[in-house]
Amino acid sequence: MPRRIDLPSTRRRFLTGAGAASILAGSGVFLPSYSRANGRPQFTHGVQSGDVDINSGMVWTRTDRPSSIAFEVSTTDSFTDAKRLAPLNAIPNGDFTVKRLIDDLPSDQTIFWRATATDLADGNAISEPIIGSFKTAPSTRRSIKFVWSGDTAGQGWGIDKARGGMKTYATMMRHEPDFFIHSGDSVYADGPLKAEVELKDGSIWRNLVTPEKSKVAETLDEFRGQWKYNLLDRNVRAFNERVPTFFQWDDHEVVDNWSGSKDLSGDDRYTEKSVRLLAARSAQAFHEMTPIRFQPTEPGRVYRTINYGPLLDIFFLDLRSYRADNDDLQQEQPGPETILMGARQIAWLKRELARSSATWKVIACDMPISLIIWDSWRDQKGSEAVSNGTGGRPRGREHEFADLLRFIKSVGIANTVWLTADVHYTAAHYYDPDKAAFQDFDPFWEFVTGPIHAGTFGPNATDATFGPQVKFVKAPTAEQGVNLPPSDGLQFFGAVEIDGETGAMTVRLMDSANTELWTTTLEPATAL
């Protein structure tokens, strides 16, 4: 098991002072104030940072009223060397959120940033400051630690204050990661919460419930409310104060298994039946409420590259925004109906992989490659993910992945590792061309984990097209059943460490109690 590392005294003092005033002692939940009677602006949902590289990073916060937000940036928690940035306005059109890129930063340096809000209607009403921090990526070889997982507040399991809230976030923070990859299903817009859920042992799970989480999300404000709900948890807020999050999205940010063919006509929970309109509102909320970078060539784009120094590049995929309709997808030839990533995203990924000089190329993919995930579980029809369940030569959406894996081999791109989530259990898959129906690729690893705080399911069957070998799996037993609550302990994340001297990558699959379930160390190969 990884040992618990005490924080340096300076950072410990910073964490104690930065957020303590916002916590209702002993409640397990941050309870921000929204009343203008406070007299001056309030920061309502803490701070976030994300998409950090060698000399820059995104930061985010939110106020309770129209405000001018002043920013200061420093390399010390005392802010004695603070640099002031131009202010930004928090206004209703963006739900009073602000986010910005802080650049021209030194590499491999802890950066402290401070925000202060001035009421736009009353220049004398000034908030207390709020503080966050992140560490920039190294420009030289040093050890890197990060965590990844997916699936927050799903299947009816929200914030139960008496049970400690979303405890896996606190467990992940004990690893002192440089950053966190959230692999999707970061909110459950289609998963309303009940105030109470009776568990098998007769005890009661008591959810904190907000108006937005009491129904499915349809309006823009309701989608925003999904994100604000997660930020009420004290573990999430404390994590965000010092760990950058690199966000992806998947289906539950909109509605379960959504594609253009999703039919809501029979779902009485929805008065808005247009999935495309729901997806558009969800996407706006996603970009307003997370510290994801703005892509000027395609505003709203989720796929992107983060260059994290000489040892690591991360390539974030988007398997949701460009897909054709979910269907049986047994087509023997690729075509418009087999699109999952789309030609433009695939061209970007090939180009970025080919020019990467980093030792490790981590491909953050929101869905596993060879786990069979049906669009309709009841009759086992329709492909929701990559595999179609036939296990033979590539068909349907598998064409895109066969083409990509063939390219990686032909160009001689070494040290690709796939990290993913989605299926609500944890596993390690080794892809072996000698055991595959499609064999024109080099062997590689795919690691699956999650949920962070949601129902636990699985395991799924595998499709043999790309030869996945299940080296480890931890999932509920048949006796345990499905949709196990977080209190059962089957909540998972992955911890990765890249050694600065040897370049070796160690991957650990962990549970919410910080138990190491399985581990492997991968030695870097030399590119051709």
List domains and CATH numbers for the chain: 9-135 (2.60.40.380), 146-522 (3.60.21.70)
198, burial (CB in 10 Å: exposed 0-12, middle 13-18, buried 19+): exposed
Q: For residue range 268-288, list pLDDT tens digits in order.
A: 999 999 999 999 999 999 999
| Segment among 85-94, 168-177, 201-210, 326-335 with least mean pLDDT | 326-335
CA 510 vs. chain centroid, Å, equals: 17
Residues whose CB is less than 8 angstroms from the CB of residue 162 and which lie 6 or more positions away in sequence, other chains included: 28, 206
pLDDT of residue 380: 76
Quote the pTM value: 0.92
Q: Which two tokens stand for residue 508?
A: 């650990």
In DSSP terms, 117 is beta-bridged to 69
53 phi and psi, to 5 degrees? -130, -155
- Over residues 159-169, the mean pLDDT reads 98
Q: What's the CA gap between 101 and 291, in Å, rounded?
A: 9
Q: For residue range 235-268, list pLDDT tens digits in order.
A: 999 999 999 999 999 999 999 999 999 999 999 9
When the pLDDT of each residue in the chain is averaged and rounded to a whole number, the result is: 93
In this predicted structure, the answer to whether residue 33 has a pLDDT above a threshold of 90 is: no
In this predicted structure, the answer to whether residue 382 has a pLDDT above a threshold of 90 is: no
In this predicted structure, the answer to whether residue 527 has a pLDDT above a threshold of 90 is: no
Its sign, for the CA torsion 500, 506, 508, 513, is negative
Bridge pairing between strands 374-376 and 381-383: antiparallel
Q: For residue range 485-517, list pLDDT tens digits in order.
A: 999 999 999 999 999 999 999 999 999 999 999
Place of tokens 């050890």: 143
pLDDT of residue 183: 98
| Segment among 33-47, 359-373, 383-397 with least mean pLDDT | 33-47
In this predicted structure, the answer to whether residue 177 has a pLDDT above a threshold of 90 is: yes
Q: Are 46 and 38 in contact (CB under 8 A)?
A: no
Q: For residue range 329-350, list pLDDT tens digits in order.
A: 899 999 999 999 999 999 999 9
In this predicted structure, the answer to whether residue 22 has a pLDDT above a threshold of 80 is: no
In this predicted structure, the answer to whether residue 27 has a pLDDT above a threshold of 80 is: no
Longest CA–CA separation in the chain, Å = 71
3-state helix, strand, coil in the chain (%, to 5): 20, 30, 50
Angle between helices 275-289 and 220-230 (to 10 degrees): 40
66, burial (CB in 10 Å: exposed 0-12, middle 13-18, buried 19+): middle
Q: Which two tokens stand for residue 255?
A: 């509605």
Neighbours of 265 (CB within 10 A): 7
- Over residues 304-315, the mean pLDDT reads 98
Q: Are 306 and 51 in contact (CB under 8 A)?
A: yes
Residues whose CB is less than 8 angstroms from the CB of residue 335 and which lie 6 or more positions away in sequence, other chains included: none
Bridge pairing between strands 492-498 and 468-474: unpaired
In this predicted structure, the answer to whether residue 20 has a pLDDT above a threshold of 50 is: no
pLDDT of residue 420: 98
Q: Are 290 and 95 in contact (CB under 8 A)?
A: no
Q: Are 244 and 51 in contact (CB under 8 A)?
A: yes
DSSP letters spanning 302-341: --EEEE-STTEEEEE--SSTT----S----SS--GGG-SS
In this predicted structure, the answer to whether residue 99 has a pLDDT above a threshold of 50 is: yes
In this predicted structure, the answer to whether residue 78 has a pLDDT above a threshold of 70 is: yes
Bridge pairing between strands 416-420 and 444-448: parallel
Bridge pairing between strands 426-431 and 444-448: antiparallel
Task: Please count the CA atoms within 13 angstroms of the CA of 159 that sit on its side-chain side.
Answer: 24
Residues whose CB is less than 8 angstroms from the CB of residue 116 and which lie 6 or more positions away in sequence, other chains included: 69, 70, 72, 126, 127, 128, 129, 130
pLDDT of residue 460: 96
In this predicted structure, the answer to whether residue 18 has a pLDDT above a threshold of 70 is: no
371, burial (CB in 10 Å: exposed 0-12, middle 13-18, buried 19+): buried
Between 327 and 44, the more confident residue is 44
Q: Catalogue the E-assigned strands of 221-359.
A: 245-247, 304-307, 312-316
